[in-house]
Amino acid sequence: MDRYKKQRIRMVETQIRSRSIRDDRVLKVMEEVPRHLFVDEGLINQAYSDNPLPIGERQTISQPYIVALMTQALELKGMERVLEIGTGSGYQTAILAKLADRVFSIERVAVLASHARKILDRLNCYNVAIRVGDGSYGWKEEAPFDAIITTAAAPQFPQHLVAQLSPGGRMVVPVGGREVQTLYKLTRSTEDPSELKKEDLGGCRFVSLIGESGWKE
């Protein structure tokens, strides 16, 4: 057992399972993925704490519970193609890589994308493609996607991303102001792809989605 394994198990039991996360695959992966590799060296002692942490470039690694909540909402079974907007540290990306077939992740800050790539390769997450750009446009060449996750807050539902969601697909996105948002799960109808079922997953606070369909700098 590596020195952080007990901390991961404690994190899952006290922060995640206790808050009604019930997807066994999500719980198992969050016990396995080493979150401490994705935080700054000076913050390693807080890697499994119940809060977000700064990763530089005015970005953060999300609170473990929020990662679990968003991941569970995607309802991943293992064969999905997933689009992630906001690679950030790469932690959420690694969780997705263990649960889906392919992950396509977009990060607007090149230094973060490069750093995340190195850690993901170290963890053998070779089913992840990362590119630098405006995530609010999505990744049209690889669309449609079975699931889309946005780890930055938009002022409204990003229509470029909604359009790249497969019929029956799920999208999790924080929407609202620049300080406080609501986390939504959108499910695209299989009968009429223009129809979306919206589910409120609760309040949240994310960094802003910067881009054409997001906020300006």
- Look at phi and psi of residue 100 and say left if phi exceeds 0, alpha if psi is from -120 to 50, else beta: beta
Which of 20, 49, 62, 189 is catalytic? The answer is: 62
Query: b/e map of 40-57 (b: 16 or more CB within 10 Å)?
Result: eeeeeeebbbeebbebee
Q: Is 194 annotated as catalytic? A: no
Q: If we measure between CA atoms, which residue out of 95, 93, 86, 77 comes closest to residue 32? A: 95
- The whole-angstrom separation of Cα 199 and Cα 202 is 9
Torsions phi, psi for 196 (to 5 deg) = -125, 130
Residue with the two structure tokens 């053998």:
124
Would you mind telling me the total number of residues written for the chain in this entry?
Answer: 217
Quote the tokens at residue 134: 């405006």
Burial (CB count <10 Å: 0-12, 13-18, 19+), residue 27: middle
- The whole-angstrom separation of Cα 176 and Cα 179 is 8
Which residues are known catalytic residues?
Answer: 62
